[in-house]
Structure 1
């Protein structure tokens, strides 16, 4: 039996060929009962013209196809199979199909790992039985290929053949069915219901579809990714080819499966890590199914804007206000017309027109296609990155006049084409963009967007993708954004005390306060030697968070104050430790007053590699939650962008006349900490600086507290 590639190794050459056979088969076999019969009907309906065979020993036919008694009776090895038999029989049938040399199989049956340990064992047997075949599922609805006319799909669907469009891969079978029912002119090229992903995962389908010129973009519904590093590599391939990916991620749970001692662990949930992953790779994350569809349409039909300057046209002041509100919300810019353009538009629209962006082009030219085109062309001469017309239409078949609306839309399309801009027509209410207008938009290479909020989100998402794509392509073709993968950890994890942690941090080039490790009796003299004021801390790996235990005293101005602080610390800590209080104290020079206290932490994660959290620091870090999450490795532009998103950035930039912080010094320290996590032979599992004092511009930073958890070493 052909060995099964393990997750992360990618598609073998043979399995890739078999996946090609499954997606574009010469012949198809349907095995099972009612579901197999329905899949055969759907394949006939969509126009598949190759041989189709049915296998069922108890039925005379499936959807008019005469039934064979067994797989062994098939005239030849089928390129594609829709298999809908009970779970145990699924495994045995797969083994037979593999021996016969079948290409790929949709496994419809449930009853595998989703039901627990017994099903998990059966699914492992399925994987082994599959050999090198391409297998979708199990526990899935299958595959629709609207380009080649293939429906391995056990449910009615109203789709039709297309030449090009977005492909969608979804882990939810019902969501896949719902997509086929949507009336939004998404014109899918493919829909894949991936199910349990036992043999093929989302990343495999993406990698395969990237080589199909009929695929304009890829939409995903993700519950979880089985191989995050490989998914990241495939996403970078998509960026290199200029194929956008849009992700609808559900299941925003926190990462809580492993021990964490730092604030970093509690602040970096899995959803934050997914957000960081998607942003890093130029993947658009959407919050709703409607946003998924509208964004895929914008990418496919509207195009990628060169920037965020939007030229908008409306038919009313109310629509103009809605555009302005949502444009601002999504970071789109609405530059106002130049004086020259104002004067020309005033002559074209009449003296009562208000010339602005968005432009309410008013009743004077409604229904006059040539005048609408002329006015819109004048407006767009100022230079924009994209343009949109807000227009709603009465229902088809009603007695309400549609002539004026349609004429205005045609005039807009002509002006947008002349300006060579990505364009969209967008209704304020989703159902008010009727089928004829959606068809008109598609014929004019413009996006038909439904719903003003989702429509403007889609335009903004396309602009964001364009900017991110430039960055990815400039970064050595995206190589700088490959996820760092930790070396295997060996030994038992241990928490370093603050002195050990700071020694490691200082050796990495990150400034820490001048300090001495000493016994209690030596602390006053240490303070005198260092120079007052000083801080005194009890050093113990058993007290990673010293403030809560009263193990820290700050701003001590004399030897007497140091002696009293040591006694007070001993008394307070005794309540927190089960054993004797250690006779180990750190005496440090107090750091200068900072512009801001920040926190930076890095945590090793099996899926994402290394998760970095950066934000406002101090004892209230978990309360403020003013943090950004990134993945390693990272660059200074990544950091600057993340810092700009924080609320504390206003303080760092110099708020109300206060000095600006040394943001360059902060970036330098964060990059050095990242380098420490990536290259250290200490097997770092977690490292956090909180707070790291950011001083005034040109004065650098000081890490006044550090916390490290590591294994005893790393393999290799």
Structure 2
């Protein structure tokens, strides 16, 4: 069902239902923020709420409110929602708790939440168990507490599932203009993605920040990403729950490597949503996106008057997808003329203090550094505290920075290594000068990395492949798994399945070496002593095989000449679809943890990008003159696995090829595992 949230999010009238301190706060905060519309408190016995006269019943209101804040107990909340719907209200915030989130304690929370949704019908509700929202553009607050924001004409939207985190974000002092701060609570009716899409419709919103505890409706998030892309508004996410959660009784390496966080990351990446790792990086990224938008590349120049700061930013960049391009000859010549012979010319640049307080020469140096193929410049400077020091000698920085902004069209950031050395008054001055104020080296580089990702990425047009919910899951034998995958194009070794000592003996006579004998029915056969290799005919092969403690074996050709061993795995994630993992394979897979993940379906180019992102990528390309792997064959193998998944998605639980031995001519799956069940 498509519901319009516009009346709820940009209300022309607000009803506040209840008489507690939270309702009093809603009324007072609206008045304090200069909300232009009427605020109508509703209470059966109190004469005023928040200093405004009340009416006793909903029916006494002069008109149906565009938005209502319901601050009463959970059972009365349901009754009130039904009444608001009947009178044609635009929507409601349900503040009360004790619904689904408390079902284990109350025993009736889930039932009450279902009743609440039924009472709302097609009228939008947000919550229950949430603070609500703040519209700083129009001064409309359906918010039961203090907050630290102020009215703005344009800004970013922050949407979170945590009311307390939302409250904390309103208290930021980083110069981030907040257009909306909204919470989603239990998402009983209206989910995070639906609220996000509605907020992006406001032309005054520049970017969307999502704090996500659980993604939930994947299709809704795909629609949100498509909406954001169409409107040219970037999304950045802070996803909770990064700890890996290996599956219970993991049979494969893939299952132990791929947790809920890996699949969520893959989904966000696929949707073109940038992901950051901390709340401070989240705020800095939103600030950069608001002022500069997505960056056209990850190429950065850094300027400081200290070698220590130049080293710090260089070290902070390690492991990040940011680059400091070398200076051109023309840049070096101009810098040498401006700085003299004693300054080492490099990027990051320590321009020393020889030109400090000479704003014109500083600007000349900064503009020269920005002349190359770079997306953003970072001027590192920490201002002295004004209560104990005289900051007058730092005026040159703002003057020179403003000159750089006027001289070229790339974003230029004023970057403080310590947040407290770039306080709000200076942040405001920097913004007026056209500079992007950033706080903290790590957070600033995270913001640049995210903005560069957004400048290059596009939301995938193909929908995520939905998984089924199979029951009675069983593990196919290796022979069954290989046969099934081979029918979809996967290359497997020539093999023979045998049972009993006599058949084993006959097969060993007929099957030429080099060969491999594998015990059937064992998980992680190598670790359990269930694999033996024979390069030449030997009378011990039968004896060794019989000592494996099984009654049937797989005898197959030994694949030689391998450049590398890879893992190719697919795991069903009920929340996100099917997660593809490609990485360094073999017995040390979990030790190396050299993997890349994506959500199915993928195309050949995405598979190649995953391979190029591995630490063993140089080996695959041919390391130090050695022969490289046949990359096209690896891609074909992954696409064969995907073809099987797509055909069996309703029954499939997981697949693993480990190892996929890749040679200069082919890619061969020498071990395979499939777990599948019946349709639910």
Normalising by structure 2, report the TM-score.
0.94
1:704 equivalent in structure 2 = 670
SS at match of 1:372: helix
Using the alignment, how far apart are the partners of 1:138 and 1:390 within structure 2? 45
2:605 equivalent in structure 1 = 637
1:522 to 494, 503, 520: 503
2:420 equivalent in structure 1 = 431
C-alpha contact (below 8 Å) 1:220/1:245 kept by paired residues: yes
Using the alignment, how far apart are the partners of 2:623 and 2:132 within structure 1? 56
1:479 aligns with 2:461: yes
Show CA shifts across 1:201-222 (max 9, x none): 1111121122221111111111
1:8 equivalent in structure 2 = none
SS at match of 1:493: strand
2:35 equivalent in structure 1 = 48
**Structure 1's 157 and 25: CA in aligned 2 closer, same or farther, altered over 3 A?**
same
Range moving further from structure 2, 307-316 or 102-111: 307-316
1:59 aligns with 2:38: no
2:478 equivalent in structure 1 = 498
2:13 equivalent in structure 1 = 27
Range moving further from structure 2, 504-513 or 113-122: 113-122
Q: 1:272 Cα deviation (Å)? A: 1.1
C-alpha contact (below 8 Å) 1:302/1:446 kept by paired residues: no
Show CA shifts across 1:359-406 (max 9, x none): 33333332233332223223322332211111111234x363333323
2:579 equivalent in structure 1 = 611
Aligned length: 675
C-alpha contact (below 8 Å) 1:235/1:281 kept by paired residues: yes
C-alpha contact (below 8 Å) 2:404/2:412 kept by paired residues: no
1:85 equivalent in structure 2 = 72
1:96 equivalent in structure 2 = 83
1:553 equivalent in structure 2 = 532
Using the alignment, how far apart are the partners of 1:152 and 1:500 within structure 2? 60
1:531 to 512, 518, 526: 512
Show CA shifts across 1:621-671 (max 9, x none): 233332222110112232222223323334323344443222332122112
Q: 1:508 Cα deviation (Å)? A: 1.3
Q: 1:258 Cα deviation (Å)? A: 6.8
1:440 aligns with 2:429: yes
Using the alignment, how far apart are the partners of 2:530 and 2:314 within structure 1? 54
Q: 1:260 Cα deviation (Å)? A: 4.9
Structure 2 unmatched ranges of 5 or more: none
**Structure 1's 711 and 347: CA in aligned 2 closer, same or farther, altered over 3 A?**
same
1:387 equivalent in structure 2 = 377
1:108 aligns with 2:98: no
Using the alignment, how far apart are the partners of 1:379 and 1:691 within structure 2? 48
C-alpha contact (below 8 Å) 1:427/1:433 kept by paired residues: yes
Using the alignment, how far apart are the partners of 1:385 and 1:251 within structure 2? 32
Show CA shifts across 1:341-375 (max 9, x none): 22222222334333322233333332233332223
C-alpha contact (below 8 Å) 1:229/1:607 kept by paired residues: no
1:576 equivalent in structure 2 = none
Q: 1:504 Cα deviation (Å)? A: 0.9
Q: 1:680 Cα deviation (Å)? A: 4.0
1:508 equivalent in structure 2 = 488
Q: 1:454 Cα deviation (Å)? A: 1.0
C-alpha contact (below 8 Å) 2:470/2:652 kept by paired residues: no
**Structure 1's 566 and 229: CA in aligned 2 closer, same or farther, altered over 3 A?**
same
Q: 1:178 Cα deviation (Å)? A: 0.6
Show CA shifts across 1:429-451 (max 9, x none): 11111223211232244321011
C-alpha contact (below 8 Å) 2:405/2:434 kept by paired residues: no
2:547 equivalent in structure 1 = 568
**Structure 1's 490 and 264: CA in aligned 2 closer, same or farther, altered over 3 A?**
closer
Using the alignment, how far apart are the partners of 1:310 and 1:587 within structure 2? 56
C-alpha contact (below 8 Å) 2:74/2:97 kept by paired residues: yes
C-alpha contact (below 8 Å) 1:302/1:445 kept by paired residues: no
**Structure 1's 409 and 51: CA in aligned 2 closer, same or farther, altered over 3 A?**
same
RMSD across aligned positions (CA): 2.2
Normalising by structure 1, report the TM-score.
0.90
SS at match of 1:217: strand
Q: 1:491 Cα deviation (Å)? A: 6.2
**Structure 1's 253 and 450: CA in aligned 2 closer, same or farther, altered over 3 A?**
closer
C-alpha contact (below 8 Å) 2:401/2:435 kept by paired residues: no
Describe how 1:652-691 pairs up with structure 2 within 5 A. 652-680=620-648, 683-691=651-659
Using the alignment, how far apart are the partners of 2:588 and 2:372 within structure 1? 49
1:294 equivalent in structure 2 = 284
1:38 aligns with 2:19: no
Describe how 1:253-402 pairs up with structure 2 within 5 A. 253-255=243-245, 260-396=250-386, 398=387, 400-402=389-391
Q: 1:300 Cα deviation (Å)? A: 0.8
C-alpha contact (below 8 Å) 2:26/2:144 kept by paired residues: yes
Range moving further from structure 2, 343-352 or 132-141: 343-352
Structure 1 unmatched ranges of 5 or more: 6-11, 473-477, 574-580
1:70 aligns with 2:57: yes
Q: 1:457 Cα deviation (Å)? A: 1.8
Show CA shifts across 1:263-322 (max 9, x none): 222211001111211222222222211111001001111333221221222122222222
